[in-house]
Each structure stands twice: as structure tokens, then as C-alpha cells.
Amino acid sequence: MGHSTDQVDILPEGQKPTLEQLENAPPYPKGDGPGYAYVEGTPEERRLLRKIDLHILPMLWVMYIMNYLDRTNIGNAKTGGMQADLNLTASEYSLVLSIFFVGYLLWEVPSNMMLARSRPSIFLPTIMFIWGAMSIGAKGINSLGGMVAFRFVLGLVEAGFFPGVMLLMSCWYKPAELSKRIALFYTASLMAGAFGGLLAGGVISGLEGKGGTRGWKWLFIIEGLMTVVCASISFFILPNYPATTKWLSEEERRLATARLLSAEASEDEEPHMGHWQAFKEAAKDPKTWVFVLVYNLLNMVGTISYFFPTLMTSLGYKGRDAQFMTVPIYAVALVISVTGGFVADRTKQKAFVVMAACALATVSFIIVAAVDTSKVRYAFLCFGGAGIWTAVPVFLSWMVTMFDGREKRAVSIALINGFGNLASVYGSFFWDTPPHYIKGFSLTTAFCGCALAVTAFAKWKYNDKGVQRTS
């Protein structure tokens, strides 16, 4: 390939790249050589990237919709009759909500360690099938204790999904390509929020009492069945890593590997390490805990999504209308979040996009807490939600580029996601002061401002050091 552009000598002709070569290869010298040369931005690379997108993103997107529906339908079930049927107080509902994240935290790191040594095409669909089957089984829950146990085990099972997807995507895309793709992936949660409100309104009212089963239980059953079907399909569609994927030709596998090696060519890749060594390396890296704090703050703010149906009732909407009025919130967030992801990739200033999104959420929630007009409060609730759901995916796309080595990256992502989601345990208890929920909005505003400040610190501290080249 006689290009005068920068090239990277990758592999001898005819040799297939392995995942170990992809993840643990030393820096390659630039310049012409006898091996496979990679040149950025060629038509072949653009075609490959489109092929990767079409094979990976749609399936992961649908899987995340199911994941988000199964973890957040508890809010729809509450307003659909669950709270009355189980005689839940406000604090008991918060316990039901938060116990999910206790299980999520406990199994976060072990699940990602398992994924790092297994096949994503088996691991991710398997845990998805299990949590879908569990949701179907929720029909038999008739007490607070049963619901608490169900939510705790659901957290254990779902713990590996989101960080597993982040790890998988980081093994297919270069850092500068991640923001808009993670933003697009994250839109699944917004679509699930919007679709979930419509589905909940239709199912709970339309199937109430059918077969002697309450409408809110039908919601769990139907969404569980949808998840089981999606998991079964994903077994046949979801890929593993570039070096071992059958729907890529040998030349495409070489190019896919070369792309990622070139992105890491200026870095000192860490040698292959065991689980315990990777855990120690991740735990002693200060970056890990700075990002834990940012994600913790963002997730504390994000607990508001579990209370949207409840907040709609405080604005005067009842019954199905309370479910349906959550839809525009997610629609506004969808537009702003995707725009933020594209801006972050185009400008390569992910940290600044996160800070801008936090600023939008902070100002919006101040207005929601300060005014009494329902329409104004609703409008800025939409913008506040958009700020949260723009900050999170861009932050995640920034975070996954900050750690070298597959094992350390897997553990770091799991630690950040796990301890970050710990915020949802105590964040669930902020929304217990109806009708205006001043405590919830005040704390949410404060945490948004803190997230902005810590992100600014991380940008200043780590911007140009090591792999932090894309922020």
C-alpha cells in the first residue's frame, strides 16, 4: 500500500490478528514496512465502519430498550396500582426501588471480569434471558418482601449488561468514534422511557383484571416476554471481537484490528494481567475514583426518572394521562442528547459537552423548584431531563477511553458503573416531599452543579496525560 501518509506496521501478511494482539500489542513504529499498513480515512475503512455499525448498534439498541424497560417499569407499576395492592408507604417504595442497585453494585465487577474472559455473544444474551424470565415470574409477587427480593436479584442479573456493552464497544471503535455511537445507543433508554409510558398506559388499563391478574402485573409479564424473545434473537446476531468475527472477511478483520492498534499506537499498552492484578491496577488509579464521583453525582440526579409518573400526578395529570405525559420529556431529551453526542465527537471536547449539559440541568431544575405554574415546571422538567441524558452518554464515551488494557479497562468500567449506580440507592429517598418535591429538586440542583465542577477538575487534571487524548 504505497501511501505516503502515516502508516502502522501491524501484522505479517497472511497472519490473522488475535484479540490478545489487539489489546496487548506494544506501540508500532510509523513508516513503511513489510507488514499490513493502516491508513486512516480510506474508503475501505468507511465501508468497514458502516458494516460494523449496522451489525452492532441496532441489536445493542433494542437490547438496551428491553433492559431499561425491565428496570424502570417499577415507576409505572406504582402509579398503576402496585403501591395500593402491596400497601407500600413512600419509604417502602423507595426501598423497593433502591434495593435493585444494591444487587447491581455487588455483582458489577465480577460480571465484567467474567465478560472480559468470555464471549459477549453468549454472556450478554444469557443474562438478558434470565432477567426477562424473572420479570414474567413477578406475576406471583403479592407482598413487600417478595418485591424487595425480586428487585435485589434483578439487580444482580442486570449488573453485567451496561458496562459489558461499554467494554464491547470500546473494543470495536476508536475513541474519537465513541461519543456519537454511545449517544445513539443511549437513546434507547429515552425511547424506552417514552415507549414505556405508552405501553404502561395501554397495558395497565387495557388488561386490568384479565385472567384474574392486575394490570400492573400484566406489565411485568408482557415486558418480560418481549425481553426473552429479544435475548433469543441476539444469540444469533450479537458479535464478539473484531479478530474473531465471522461476518468480517479476513481483510476486514485485519483492518478492524489495525484501526484500533493505530489508535493506541502512541500508548504504552499494559501486559496481559489476571483478575486480581487488574483490580489492583484499577483501584489504585486516581482517575477511577474521580470518574466514580462524577458518575455517582449524575446518577443521583438521574433517579428523577423513576418518579416521572409520580411527578406528573403532582402537576395535575391522572390515570393514563400521568403515564402518557412522560413521553414528551424523553422526546426532548432524545433530540438534545443525540445533538450533544455528535458535537462531542466533532469537537473532541467531551468534557465541555458534559459540563454544558450539567449547566442546562442545573438551571432547569432551579426554575422547576422556584415557580408554581404547572406548564412552566413541566417545560423545564423536559430540559432538565435532557441535560441529564446528554451528560451521561457523553461522559461514558469519555470515560471508556481513559484506561489502557482490556482487563484493567473492564474492571475500571465496572467499578465506575457500580459505585456510580450506588447513588440510586440513596437518591431514591429524595423524592418523598409531595406535592412540590422541593427536597428532591433542591438536591438534584446541587448535585448537577457538583457534577459540573468535578468534570471541570477531571478535564484540567487528566486532559493531556496518557490515553486522555480525546477529551
Domain of 65 in residue numbering reads as: 43-263+273-462
- Please tell me the number of Cα atoms within 13 Å of 54 on its side-chain side: 8
Question: Residue 2: inside a domain, yes or no?
Answer: no
Question: Residue 30: inside a domain, yes or no?
Answer: no
> Amino acid identity, residue 5?
T
Q: Distance between CA atoms of 97 and 115, rounded to whole angstroms? A: 27
Q: What confidence score (pLDDT) does residue 6 get?
A: 38
Q: Per-residue confidence of the chain (471 residues) as pLDDT tens digits?
A: 333 333 333 444 334 344 444 444 433 333 333 345 677 888 889 999 999 999 999 999 999 999 989 888 888 898 889 999 999 988 898 889 889 988 888 887 788 778 777 788 899 999 999 999 999 999 999 999 999 999 999 999 998 898 788 778 888 888 778 777 877 888 888 888 778 878 888 899 889 999 999 999 999 999 999 999 999 999 999 988 888 888 888 888 888 888 887 765 444 444 556 667 878 888 888 889 999 999 999 988 888 887 888 888 888 887 778 778 888 898 899 889 889 988 988 888 889 999 999 999 999 999 988 888 888 999 999 999 999 989 998 998 888 777 766 677 778 877 887 788 778 777 777 887 777 788 889 999 999 999 999 999 999 888 744 343 434
Cell 451521561 belongs to 392
Other beta carbons within 10 angstroms of residue 347's beta carbon come to: 11
Contact present, 436 and 272 (Cβ < 8 Å): no
Closest CA to 113 of 163, 71, 157: 163
Q: Distance between CA atoms of 217 and 314, rounded to whole angstroms? A: 24
Question: Residue 469: inside a domain, yes or no?
Answer: no
Q: Distance between CA atoms of 303 and 184, rounded to whole angstroms? A: 21
Q: Distance between CA atoms of 423 and 411, rounded to whole angstroms? A: 19
3-state DSSP of 78-118: HHHHHHHHCCCCHHHHHHHHHHHHHHHHHHHHHHHHHHHCC
Q: Distance between CA atoms of 127 and 150, rounded to whole angstroms? A: 15
Question: Residue 20: inside a domain, yes or no?
Answer: no
Q: What confidence score (pLDDT) does residue 320 get?
A: 74
Question: Residue 357: inside a domain, yes or no?
Answer: yes
Question: Residue 25: inside a domain, yes or no?
Answer: no
Question: Residue 7: inside a domain, yes or no?
Answer: no
Q: What confidence score (pLDDT) does residue 15 get?
A: 41
Other beta carbons within 10 angstroms of residue 51's beta carbon come to: 15
Q: Distance between CA atoms of 309 and 75, rounded to whole angstroms? A: 7
3-state DSSP of 117-181: CCCHHHHHHHHHHHHHHHHHHHHHCCCHHHHHHHHHHHHHHHCCHHHHHHHHHHCCCCHHHHHHH
Contact present, 243 and 223 (Cβ < 8 Å): no
User: Which CATH number goes with the domain that contains 442?
Assistant: 1.20.1250.20
Question: Residue 5: inside a domain, yes or no?
Answer: no
Number of domains observed in the structure of the chain: 1
Q: Distance between CA atoms of 453 and 273, rounded to whole angstroms? A: 34
> Buried (b) or exposed (e) across 190-202, using 16+ Cβ within 10 A?
bbbbbbbbebbbb
